[in-house]
A and B are shown apart, each in its own frame.
Chain A
């Protein structure tokens, strides 16, 4: 076989949440212009995701690739900007909140990470995140899109989103229709398999569909994957907080451009601030409210098996603390165009994806383990969280960090180095000493440089518009100042 003209590729996506629609857009873009190729999505009616999404900048990266405009998304869906996560209540010793900001945090000096400079020549590591523009903007509830000019300090900013899930899904669906993607509502009622994997699906007991590649975007149900390959890893033992209750609250003012992550004696919750409401997702160890859902953390051992690729919640359900659903999805979809199959044997492509995905989801698992294992609350349920043994990878990374603040290399990390560092430092895990390389910096020069960055962060944040005002301007179609 040479090339693919003789063997056009058909892709069938099952699932109608943001996972499914984003996949449809990505697949459609990938095969655009390919003779005979087709992308079709079958979406089920009904509720498909939590009322609100909190997405780190990885989603913006995906939007960029798919040609979706961020300002447009914020304006049309009534969303808000997310400049980081703001953690409260994770320290039993009454230490203050900490911020995990998006975008740059200071600047490295050769191999010397920025936090080492703060430790050696600044006011101490507690102050590390405050050198990020995003942290200052969160404190002042301000927002502006990053500047494209690298000499402007505003170019160091990055942001993600708080999105009304229904409105965002509708926008993705409309976009898919505008782009001519074939979409039909329906419910899978039967699945046929053969030796290569899936042979076809029946919709509503009446319509039969076949494809070369099936993509399972049905979330925890894993409808397609379950039919051929449901070997799962169960991560339920990683956390006691497996019961989720969602609430809508009145909007808060000022509108915080960050997801608040708040621990309390019985569990934790995330507060996703939208202009019209704050959505809280609360996670506890018992189902004491009537209206709770039980989480099923875990992942498929081989998310791409035969001719079926499971994505999003069908492939992996990390602890919500890991903030990893959308980053995992974004990486899967960015990888997909390079792995489009040309024949029924997809083992090589699947192998590449499965290996990368396993490492990416390992990172997610380690990240939530880091937070749960390093918090210092005194209640028994929280104490018990600290008894879990970390993975070898996390144990090594933590030991390396605790010794001299160094960062272990990790293939296919989904976090930036600063995300790990802010989590450790914020939870009180500190290096015993800074990197000896930092001693080579001239103390006067290094400390002046730190002061300069800090001042720039504060001043640039102060000059940004109020978050709420910035969103209103976007909605009214006024370009950013």
Chain B
């Protein structure tokens, strides 16, 4: 028996990866035999989705839907990602990786990196990344499952994907439509609210049709058709910490070996991404319009591509920040409609996915309990702020002296939450993280140490362990990582053997 409070109709406004991820997840999880799901999208409105890089939680989302990894990679021109390479961020000529997974193994309840800090001073440690499986594998362009050995001092392999976001949306569209999601083609031209409480009653299409619903999910992107234009959520602007406000995206032909990592290269007025897909490379330049014109930005980007550009560079404008309330009345904003953080740490898809999980955990009925909405907004704000701090760190901890954008970022007052983390780390390399923060300690270590934020000391407990034992343990960890990586195939071989997309068969 269906409870009379159960929603009759959910309307998702906007396709793209956010819209179809929402539709797919709802069709899978709401499945009560009663609630109908409709998605409105217009082929006339472009989607921002270009080559997307992701972080490991995307695998949970795909597993939740029951997607087969190889089918998914085949359908989306997908490749494997185990790290991000940061080129010239610390200073020109400097490179480091932010890999997934952990570094080495903790010993005597003291963190691995603390021992590393000491051995580094003694000249007895390899580079930090040599103790991380994903880091070493990425630099050798290798990827493949490693046998899990519980005794091994090496953490298990973690990975995410690069894929074509519009192909991912198409893949999920097929999935959602098979599970009863109805797609309506067309543009929304008007929004109608209930006079008594301002809840959204229906959206009006160009054709004059009105689509009514109980819950509206705003996946309309930056403009926030429902959440902002209709419901006036308001926007918390973070441009003073993250001054970039433009991007240009382009695809180029692949050249050279297929890498299993995203590359981010710092430029004077921003940074350029490089996302390797099976059939091409997705590139883009995120920059500050205060420091560079669009023409200049376009030429900087085109000068730095792997191969020939395959399309006209597409400009994108954005303002970094978050929607003050992601959920208002009967409208939830998911994806870019809920806010924007530049994709420096590949979090766009994750923010979408987290919004969907949160919506599932707090799925409303016709009462739209206000406490549930408060909780949703609280959690959304928390996630945004945490990711923001992590991205601000990349800009702030730089040694690119004499370049206006970078001088500004190095000298600006950073968010208090980040300042506290930095102060504590600079002192003795300590980091305290709340359990539910997205980026684990190892991610903070990667970027802090990668960008040369070296602590003044290390944890005093490090000295409790005899040096020769630690040196020996480090040698074993290093060897274990190197050995595990040596047994992996090349990334390209892995793709060819398991999940090559139809259009990319290599020449015979």
Q: Chain A: residues with CB nearer than 8 A to chain B?
A: 1-5, 9, 30-35, 37, 111, 337-340, 342, 348-349, 351-352, 356, 396, 399-400, 402-404, 406, 408-409, 411-412, 433, 435-437, 439-440
What are the residues of chain B within 8 A of A433 when measuring CB–CB?
Answer: 3, 5, 365
A340 to B435, CA, bound (A): 21
A402 to B460, CA, bound (A): 48
The answer to whether B29 touches A439 (Cβ under 8 A) is no
Q: How far is the CB of A4 from chain B (nearest CB, A)?
A: 4
What are the residues of chain A within 8 A of B364 when measuring CB–CB?
Answer: 436
A31 to B464, CA, bound (A): 7
Q: If the complex has contacts A34-B463, A439-B3, are A4 and B32 also in contact, measured as CB distance less than 8 A?
A: no
The answer to whether A111 touches B361 (Cβ under 8 A) is yes
What are the residues of chain B within 8 A of A2 when measuring CB–CB?
Answer: 121, 456-458
18 pairs, A vs B, C-beta closer than 8 Å: A3-B463, A4-B457, A31-B461, A32-B464, A338-B459, A342-B460, A351-B420, A408-B375, A409-B378, A411-B435, A433-B3, A435-B363, A436-B365, A437-B363, A439-B2, A439-B6, A439-B32, A440-B29
A404 to B435, CA, bound (A): 25
Q: How far is the CB of A251 from chain B (nearest CB, A)?
A: 40
The answer to whether A337 touches B118 (Cβ under 8 A) is no
A408 to B378, CA, bound (A): 10
B30-74 interface bits toward A, Cβ cutoff 8 Å, 1 = contact, 0 = none: 111000000000000000000000000000000000000000000
- B503 contacts the other chain (CB 8 A): no
The answer to whether B464 touches A404 (Cβ under 8 A) is no
For the complex of A and B, 5 pairs with smallest distance between CB atoms:
A33-B464, A403-B369, A399-B371, A4-B460, A400-B371
Total contacts A to B, CB within 8 angstroms?
Answer: 121
Q: If the complex has contacts A33-B464, A342-B457, A406-B361, are A396 and B374 also in contact, measured as CB distance less than 8 A?
A: yes
- B300 contacts the other chain (CB 8 A): no
Q: How far is the CB of A426 from chain B (nearest CB, A)?
A: 21
A440 to B360, CA, bound (A): 12
> Looking at the complex, which one of B7, B118, B365, B434 makes contact with A411 (CB distance below 8 Å)?
B434
Q: Chain B: residues with CB nearer than 8 A to chain A?
A: 2-3, 5-7, 29-32, 109, 118, 121, 357, 360-365, 367, 369-372, 374-375, 378-379, 420, 423-424, 427-428, 430, 432, 434-436, 456-465
A2 to B361, CA, bound (A): 48
Name the residue in B369, B374, B458 with the highest tally of chain A Cβ atoms < 10 Å from its Cβ: B369
What are the residues of chain A within 8 A of B462 when measuring CB–CB?
Answer: 3
What are the residues of chain B within 8 A of A30 when measuring CB–CB?
Answer: 461
A356 to B424, CA, bound (A): 15
The answer to whether A1 touches B461 (Cβ under 8 A) is no
Residue of chain A at shortest CB distance from B436: A409
What are the residues of chain A within 8 A of B379 when measuring CB–CB?
Answer: 409
Identify 16 new A-B residue pairs, CB closer than 8 A, beyond the known A408-B371, A436-B6. A31-B464, A33-B464, A37-B460, A338-B430, A340-B459, A340-B461, A351-B420, A403-B367, A404-B369, A406-B372, A409-B378, A411-B435, A411-B436, A433-B365, A436-B7, A437-B360
What are the residues of chain A within 8 A of B369 when measuring CB–CB?
Answer: 399-400, 403-404
> Looking at the complex, which one of B31, B109, B361, B463 makes contact with A337 (CB distance below 8 Å)?
B109
Q: How far is the CB of A180 from chain B (nearest CB, A)?
A: 15
A32 to B109, CA, bound (A): 12
Q: How far is the CB of A434 from chain B (nearest CB, A)?
A: 9
What are the residues of chain B within 8 A of A399 when measuring CB–CB?
Answer: 369-371, 374
What are the residues of chain B within 8 A of A352 when measuring CB–CB?
Answer: 424, 430, 432
The answer to whether A3 touches B461 (Cβ under 8 A) is no
Residue of chain B at shortest CB distance from A36: B463
